[in-house]
Structure 1
Amino acid sequence: MANTVFIKNMVCNRCIMVVQSELDKLGLNVNSIRLGEVVLEEELSDEKKKLLEEVLIPLGFELIDDKKVRIIEKIKNIIIDLVHHQDNDAKTNLSDVLISQLHHDYNYLSNLFSEVESTTIEKYFIAQKIEKVKELLVYDELSLSQIALRLNYSSVAYLSNQFKKVTGLTPSHFKQIREEKRKPLDEV
């Protein structure tokens, strides 16, 4: 009988590999694993659950029992996946994505998220997008126009305004500061 375990703070593929490794060490057979969610082949005994908690906590993860907290983690993981792990070619509406994947009314999800996180889903989404913009600016492979297009901003001006509102810097000033901090190889 399969058993689903929810894990807080899984945000990237490396997290999945770390959790998979710990599950393997404990001899737990995994049907599937993705951000925030592991489906085991068998029921997790109280003893194995305790052992799993003990190995996950030092790694920055924790098991989630509360249904509302699980929904919040799923919302975060969907947003992180949308922003950081998918090239958003399609103009997807965040509320539609959340409704279709979580099977809850958007108002319920929005109110729950705000109540638990003390911020809105939209602000969290924007914060993730700005983090992705920073990452892309540091890589220096795309122009600001290409970044705006990739992250579904309607214009470079809108991206720049939102970036400045969140960080206090323009994208070009952020990039300039990052470049000043880097030392040439012969000075390292």
Structure 2
Amino acid sequence: GGSKVFGYHLEQKEKNSILWVKLNKIPIQDTKFKTTGLDEGLEYEFRVSAENIVGIGKPSKVSECYVARDPCDPPGRPEAIVITRNSVTLKWKKPAYDGGSKITGYIVEKKDLPDGRWMKASFTNVVETEFAVSGLVEDQRYEFRVIARNAAGNFSEPSESSGAITARDEIDAPNASLDPKYRDVIIVHAGETFVLEADIR
């Protein structure tokens, strides 16, 4: 309406009701609001109105229906089990509580360090508790986290971060096989040359 908006008013109603209930006592300053006291399993609809110096405007369009259900717990912290220069294979534990509905999949997110932001690393539903993130840049440092989803369509909070992981090929330590004669104590005097023969693998 040309005047600065200084707050919002949020209303809710049960899907089969005609009675809208106001959720806030004073104007909401943010564009998000946590509502409580919902009955599990019931469907709810929401609408919002803006308020400026002139007054409260018309309500928005009614939201989609949302079913009140418990969220599931976050998955366990992902751990790297295989690291290469362009991929990291992660493994994590299932959520301790599934929110009353079966866990149907996971979303894996990654963040470039030090200044990146969280982005999806999996673009299909991950159904196992293991996933290989590919397309990484060699020697770049990353963090990873996992979000669970259950059959009710509810998403968990993100898991704890994996911590910094560097995309780099793991180099196995060399293994040397010595001739048995070199396993005894050998005395070499100063100035002498000693040649050790070994099979390096």
One fold, TM greater than 0.5? no
Higher strand fraction: Structure 1 or Structure 2?
2
Question: What range describes the TM-score normalised by the shorter chain of this pair?
Answer: under 0.3
Q: Using structure 1 for the length normalisation, give the TM-score.
A: 0.26
Higher helix fraction: Structure 1 or Structure 2?
1
